[in-house]
Chain A
Amino acid sequence: MDREAQLLKEVADGNEAAFEELFRLYQPRLGAFFWQRTRDRHASEELSQETMVIVWEKAQNFDEKARASSWIFGIGYRKYLEWQRKHARSQKLFQTEAERDVEVLPERPGTGVSGQLGQEALMEHIRQALKELSEEHRLVMEMTFQQGLSYEEISQILGIKPGTVKSRMFYAKQQLKEVLTSRGMKGDELWKISQGA
C-alpha cells in the first residue's frame, strides 16, 4: 500500500494527524484545480475544504486497490460540478465581463502576432486561447498537467473510457492550435515556449 492509501486508511480510523498530513499533500493540488475552474479564491478555498471534509467522512469507503489521487479528485470533481450548477448564472455574467476585457491584438499578416511577443506574453495569449476550449477539453489538459493524473485515473474520475480521455486530449490540443491560428498566431507557440523562446 502506498503512503497516501495508508494515510486514508488511518483517516478512516479517525486519525486526525493522518488527515492533516493528507490535507497538506492535497490542498495545493486541489486549490489549483478549483482555482483553474472557478477563478474565485474564496470558492477554491471552500471547495477544497468541502472536498477534504468528505474525504474525512468517507475514508472508510476508499478501496485500497484504487489510487488515492483519483479517489480524492473524484470527490473534488463532483464538488466542483455542484458548485458549477449553483453558480451557472453568475459565472456566465462573469465570463461575459471577462470576455469584454480581453485585449484584441492587432493582426500582422506574414510575421504573425507571436513573433512580436516575449515568453510571458506568449503564455498569456495561450491562456486566453485555452478559455475558448470546451470545459471537457480543458479539464483533461489540467488533470494531466496540473494534477499529474494518469489517463486511467482521469477516466475513472470523469466516468469516461480511457480511449475517450486520450482522444479528448488529442483534440483539445488540436483545437488549441486552431484557436491560436485564428487569433493571428502561427501555431508554433507551444513549441517556442518549450524551447524557452
Chain B
Amino acid sequence: MEDLAGRMRKEEPHLEIVELLPWYLNETLDAKERTKIAEHLKSCAACSRELDELKGLQKVITAPVQELSSETVLERTMQQIRSRRKPAPAQAQQRPSWWKLDWGTLLRPRMALAVGILAAVFVSVGVIVGLQLQAEKRVKIEEVGSKITDQYAVLPFEIYLQGTFTTMTGNTALSQESFTMFFNNKAKDFLLSSKIEANEIAHAGKANQSYQLTGDYQPLVYSLEGPVVYDADRVEATFINQQAIMSVFKSDKTSPQRVVDLKGFPVVIDFSVMSHFAVFHRILRDRLTNGESLETLRFTALAPQALRDEPLTVTKREETALKYQGQTLKVTRYQLEIGPKENILRVELYEEDRGKEKVLVAIRIPMQARVSSLSDIFAYRSDLYPQGLELAPGKK
C-alpha cells in the first residue's frame, strides 16, 4: 500500500481527520467530531482504509492479556484500606508537642486532608509570636524565672526561642523547620532565624504556593496569595528599633531581603510554630489588661519566609462555647484578621478562664478563599482536653 501518511502530510484537512480516527474508533469523540468524520469517511477511501488498519491494531492490542486474580487483589486492597483506618499508633500521641491535633480522627480521608492543610497553614501562614520592640513597652511575658513549655523559653526581658516544628501528615514528617529567636539586650535587637527542610515546591515571587504530596502522603494543593520564597536554606528576621529586616538565604542565589517599617506596632512574627498562638494570646491579654482596647490594637504580622508583612487586627471578642465530652465549655472567642481587606486570613482564638489565668485552649481557621481547604481547621490543647474539644453546634 502506498504511504498514506506521506500523502496525508500534504493534505492538512485530511490529516486532521486521520489524527482523530483512533478516537473515532474507540468512541470517545464528541458528537461534532464524530459527525465530521463519519461524513468524511463516506467519500474517502484512504481514510476508510486507515480506519481498517486501526481496527487491526486495536485487535492486536486488545487481545486477551493474562488474567489477574481480581478477587485476591480486591481482598488484599480491602484489608489495606481497613488497616489504614485504624487510629494512628501511640507514637503520634507521645510526640512532645504542646499542641496536638486530633489524631484519632485523622484517618478519615476528608479529615486527613484538613489536617494536612492545617499543617501547611502553620508552616507558611502560621502566626505567631508577639513582641513589643520598644524596650520600655516590651511585654514582660514572665515576671520571675523562666518557663519552658515544650518549644519556647521565656525569660524576663529576654526572649530566647528555639525549637523544631515538624509538619506531620499521619505519622509521616512532611517538613521540618528549626528556628531560633534571640533578643540581644545590649544591641537592643532581635534575631530570628529558621531553617526549613520541606517536601514542597515553591518558587520565589510567584503568587501561588503549590504544595504537593506524593506517595502515602495525603494529597493537597492549596494556594496562598503573595510572594512566597519557601525553597530557602534559612530565613532570618532582625529587628532594630522600628524596623524589621527579613532575609532569605539560598545556597545558589542572591539572598532576597526586605526592610519593613513597623510603624510602632508590636510585631507578630510568622515563624510557623503552633505554640506561638499561645504567646500571641498572652500578649493580647497583657495589652488588654493594660487598658488598651481592641479597636486600637494593631499588630504587624511578618512572614520572613515570604518576605511578607501584613496588618493584624483583632476584630471581635465574644462569649461563646465549646464542647468537651458532651459538656458545654464557656469560652471567649477572639477573631483575628490578617492581611489586606481584599485578601484576609481569618483566625479564631478560643480562650478559657481557668480561674488563675486565661488560657488559649483552641484555634480555628474557617474555610476561606485564602486557604483552599475543604473544611474548617480546628486544633485544641490536647494536654488539657485529651478526649478532644469540639465546636458547639450552631456556634460557628
A-to-B contact residues, CB < 8 Å = 12-14, 16, 19-20, 23-24, 27-28, 31-32, 35-36, 41, 44-45, 48-49, 52-53, 56-61, 78, 123, 126-127, 130, 141-142, 144-146, 148-151, 153, 166-167, 169-170, 173-174, 176, 187-195
Q: Are A195 and B109 in contact (CB under 8 A)?
A: no
Q: Are A48 and B68 in contact (CB under 8 A)?
A: yes
Docked complex Cα distance between A123 and B58 (Å): 11
Q: Name the residue on B nearest A144 (C-beta).
A: B22
Q: How far is the CB of A170 from chain B (nearest CB, A)?
A: 5
Q: Are B70 and A27 in contact (CB under 8 A)?
A: yes
Contacts of B84 in A (CB 8 A): 53, 56-57
Residue in contact with B5 in the complex, picked from A53, A146, A153, A170, CB distance below 8 Å:
A170
Q: Name the residue on A nearest B51 (C-beta).
A: A194
Say whether B267 faces chain A, with CB atoms less than 8 Å apart.
no
Q: Are A49 and B57 in contact (CB under 8 A)?
A: no
Q: Name the residue on B nearest A126 (C-beta).
A: B60
Docked complex Cα distance between A176 and B1 (Å): 14
Contacts of B69 in A (CB 8 A): 45
Q: How far is the CB of B145 from chain A (nearest CB, A)?
A: 47
Contacts of B56 in A (CB 8 A): 126, 189-194
Q: How far is the CB of B240 from chain A (nearest CB, A)?
A: 45
Query: What 1/0 mask marks residues of chain B from 338 to 370 whose CB sits below 8 Å from any chain A CB?
Result: 000000000000000000000000000000000
Q: Are B61 and A141 in contact (CB under 8 A)?
A: yes
Docked complex Cα distance between A112 and B70 (Å): 42
Chain B contact surface mostly: helix
Q: How far is the CB of A118 from chain B (nearest CB, A)?
A: 14
Q: Which of B193-215 contact A (CB under 8 A)?
A: 214
Q: How far is the CB of A122 from chain B (nearest CB, A)?
A: 9
Q: Are B70 and A61 in contact (CB under 8 A)?
A: no
Say whether B49 faces chain A, with CB atoms less than 8 Å apart.
yes
Q: Are A190 and B113 in contact (CB under 8 A)?
A: no
Choose the segment among B75-83, B150-158, B177-185 that binds chain A (4+ C-beta atoms closer than 8 Å).
Answer: B75-83
Q: Are B70 and A166 in contact (CB under 8 A)?
A: no
Q: Are B76 and A49 in contact (CB under 8 A)?
A: yes
Q: How far is the CB of A195 from chain B (nearest CB, A)?
A: 7
- Choose among A35, A61, A190 the residue with the greatest number of B CB atoms under 10 Å from its CB: A190
Which 9 residue pairs are nearest across A and B when measured between Cβ atoms?
A150-B28, A190-B56, A193-B56, A194-B56, A194-B55, A31-B68, A166-B19, A190-B53, A145-B61
Say whether B38 faces chain A, with CB atoms less than 8 Å apart.
no
Query: What 1/0 mask marks residues of chain B from 218 to 230 whose CB sits below 8 Å from any chain A CB?
Result: 1110000000000
Q: How far is the CB of B244 from chain A (nearest CB, A)?
A: 38
Docked complex Cα distance between A32 and B64 (Å): 9
Contacts of B81 in A (CB 8 A): 16, 19, 53, 56-57
Contacts of A24 in B (CB 8 A): 70, 74
Q: How far is the CB of A58 from chain B (nearest CB, A)?
A: 5
Q: How far is the CB of A145 from chain B (nearest CB, A)?
A: 4
Q: Name the residue on A nearest B375 (C-beta).
A: A60
Q: Which of B103-119 contact A (CB under 8 A)?
A: 108-110, 112-113
Q: Name the residue on A nearest B69 (C-beta).
A: A45
Q: How far is the CB of A37 from chain B (nearest CB, A)?
A: 11
Docked complex Cα distance between A20 and B27 (Å): 27
Docked complex Cα distance between A64 and B128 (Å): 37
Known contacts A145-B26, A151-B22; 10 additional CB pairs below 8 A are A20-B74, A27-B70, A57-B84, A58-B109, A60-B109, A130-B61, A151-B20, A173-B5, A190-B57, A193-B55
Q: How far is the CB of A64 from chain B (nearest CB, A)?
A: 13
